[in-house]
Amino acid sequence: MSVSVLSSTRALGSISGILQVASLLCLVLLLLLKAAQLYLRRKWLLKALQQFPCPPSHWLLGHQQEFQNDQELQQLQKRVEKFPCACPRWLWGCEATFLVYDPDYMKIILGRSDPKVHDDCRFLAPWIGYGLLLLNGQTWFQHRRMLTPAFHYDILKPYVGIMANSVRVMLDKWEELISQDSHLEIFEHVSLMTLDTIMKCAFSQQGSIQTNRNSQSYLQAIGDMKKLTFSRVRSFFYQNDIIYGLTPEGRRNRWACQLAHQHTDRVIELRKVHLQEEGEMEEVRRKRHLDFLDILLFARMEDGSCLSGKDIRAEVDTFMFGGHDTTASGISWILYSLAVHPEHQHRCRKEIQSLLGDGTSITWDQLDQMPYTTMCIKEALRFYPPIPVIRRELSKPVTFPDGRSLPRGIKLSLSFYGLHHNPKVWPNPEVFDPSRFAPGSDLHSHAFLPFSGGPRNCIGKNFAMMELKVAVALTLLRFELAVDPFRVPIPVSKIVLSSKNGIHLQLRKLL
């Protein structure tokens, strides 16, 4: 080997050595900078939250032990009893959320226009896009104004029949299943039924997804996205978009999103073609009832412009997301509550029987004529709020009625579960007592918030209450419900309130 080759190899070796040392130094510097940033964030949070006591927390792991063994709701209950109005919860050493469970605090926050937490939106957006649920500011306001007519009574009325049909398909299935075994896990069935309903109401899906398997891949995609999104929210390692995208879970999520979007796009395209043939809105209305998709396609902004294709898909996906697991959770927990309290179940059934007879038909007007059943539904929504918590990020400082305050930038968790189980608001909160909702009862305007409150309350509230009433009424006419003493549900907060071990009931057919 010649001398010149040897010396150039040595030179190259020393350059690469220098490069290695330099990159190591850069890395150490970056880590030090990050550590300093985290330290400063922790110091800032400690100062910002100092007026609000909370249980002792680990400097690195925060209150992580509260999330273990699905003890979150029990731990929350202890906090509500011990720390008035609100308290901080440390997610880890340098990240905290401010838990709120007092009606006056809720009123102040829900009356403001603080945006949703950026990370929550980041995780959901690939699926549901920037529709009403994730939008903020002026664009949210415009969309809300434009979409409010989609939930007008005239639009909702014909949905009673669609809902009743979907419920009947589910009850027929139950009848068949209990001929072999009277025990049934209901959450899965109810979830499929509410998805069926919303697909019919949102875009007039033909046939029932509960019995035919044509939409199987779409259903699979929705199921996957629900599980994957939740697991991402909770995992420290899945927070970064690039890292998540490289993991098998991230790839599955992307694939499921694509599949669901293709489905929604196809439905929208087909409808556009139909509408071109059918003519203007009034003409279409004369021929058939309008569904949510028609309303979206006909919707106009103040300046006369219509929603873009991307916006329409986001709104359809948002309705699908917002409108099926929530109602499934509501219906399942209401039926469970009535199974636990046969005396209330009996009284509801009497009321429904005298109103509907054998239940062959059910109308919009009848839904307003079941006061006791409505009280029980509300009490179950108090006890088991389908959306146990929502989040906001303060865009400006806030001062609460007791004089304590928080600076801009603090993340808030508005805990409806905590509020609904707060003994200062609800005496004996662990007692199921429908009389709390008797006409004339004196409730704080922000004591009962299953559908949130203020300008960003649930736009689908009336639709949801209709569906809950139809499902409860028709189920009680057909079955007597009892609990399964060996499989008592364990409520867990998973975007919606579900049960760790399912919701098991024993059913006995009536008639």
Backbone angles phi, psi at 15, to 5 degrees: -65, -45
* Residue number, 251 or 310, with CB nearest to ligand HEM: 310
Q: 105, 244, 319, 336: which one contacts ligand HEM (CB under 6 A)? A: 319
392, with CB counted inside 10 A (0-12, 13-18, 19+), is buried
Task: Report CA Rg, the chain.
Answer: 26
Lay out the site mask for ligand HEM across 273-312 (x = CB under 6 A, - = otherwise).
----------------------------------------
Candidate segments 271-279, 362-370, 427-435, 451-459, binder of ligand HEM by CB under 6 A = 451-459
77 lines the binding site for ligand HEM (CB under 6 A):
no
The residue behind tokens 């040392």 is 21
Judged by CB under 6 A, the chain residues 116 through 135 that form the site for ligand HEM are 132-133
Q: 452, 493, 498, 506: which one contacts ligand HEM (CB under 6 A)? A: 452
CB of 463 to ligand HEM, least distance (A): 5
Distance CA 81, CA 429 (A): 11
Which residues contact residue 162 at a Cβ distance below 8 angstroms, ignoring those fewer than 6 apart? Answer: 197, 200, 201
CB of 201 to ligand HEM, least distance (A): 7
DSSP annotation string for 275-302: HHHH-SHHHHHHHS---HHHHHHH-B-T
460 lines the binding site for ligand HEM (CB under 6 A):
yes
Distance CA 318, CA 129 (A): 8
318 lines the binding site for ligand HEM (CB under 6 A):
yes
Nearest Cα neighbor of 260 from 307, 309, 323, 318 is 318
DSSP annotation string for 173-236: HHHHHHTT-SEEEHHHHHHHHHHHHHHHHHH---S-TTT--TTHHHHHHHHHHHHHHHHHHH-G
* Residue number, 97 or 318, with CB nearest to ligand HEM: 318
CB of 322 to ligand HEM, least distance (A): 3
Candidate segments 76-84, 435-443, 458-466, 478-486, binder of ligand HEM by CB under 6 A = 458-466
Contact assessment for residue 315 and residue 307, using Cβ atoms and an 8 Å cutoff: yes
Distance CA 452, CA 416 (A): 8
Q: Could you tell me the CA-to-CA distances from 201 to 5, 33, 206, 417 in Å, in that order?
A: 77, 53, 10, 29
387 lines the binding site for ligand HEM (CB under 6 A):
yes
Nearest Cα neighbor of 460 from 327, 265, 302 is 327
362 lines the binding site for ligand HEM (CB under 6 A):
no
* Minimal CB distance residue for ligand HEM: 460
Judged by CB under 6 A, the chain residues 138 through 197 that form the site for ligand HEM are 144
Residue ranges for the binding site? 458
498 lines the binding site for ligand HEM (CB under 6 A):
no
Candidate segments 95-103, 156-164, 319-327, 398-406, binder of ligand HEM by CB under 6 A = 319-327
Helix, strand counts (H, E) of the chain: 19, 11
> SS3 for 402?
coil
* Residue number, 110 or 228, with CB nearest to ligand HEM: 110
Distance CA 283, CA 317 (A): 27
Candidate segments 41-49, 216-224, 281-289, 318-326, binder of ligand HEM by CB under 6 A = 318-326
472 lines the binding site for ligand HEM (CB under 6 A):
no
330 lines the binding site for ligand HEM (CB under 6 A):
yes
Candidate segments 65-73, 237-245, 299-307, 386-394, binder of ligand HEM by CB under 6 A = 386-394
Contact assessment for residue 465 and residue 472, using Cβ atoms and an 8 Å cutoff: no
CB of 14 to ligand HEM, least distance (A): 58
Distance CA 509, CA 176 (A): 10
Binding-residue total with ligand HEM (CB under 6 A): 22
332 lines the binding site for ligand HEM (CB under 6 A):
no
456 lines the binding site for ligand HEM (CB under 6 A):
yes
Nearest Cα neighbor of 202 from 123, 92, 314 is 314
Lay out the site mask for ligand HEM across 216-255 (x = CB under 6 A, - = otherwise).
----------------------------------------
Residues that bind ligand HEM (CB under 6 A): 132-133, 144, 318-319, 322-323, 326-327, 330, 386-387, 390, 450-452, 456, 458-460, 463-464
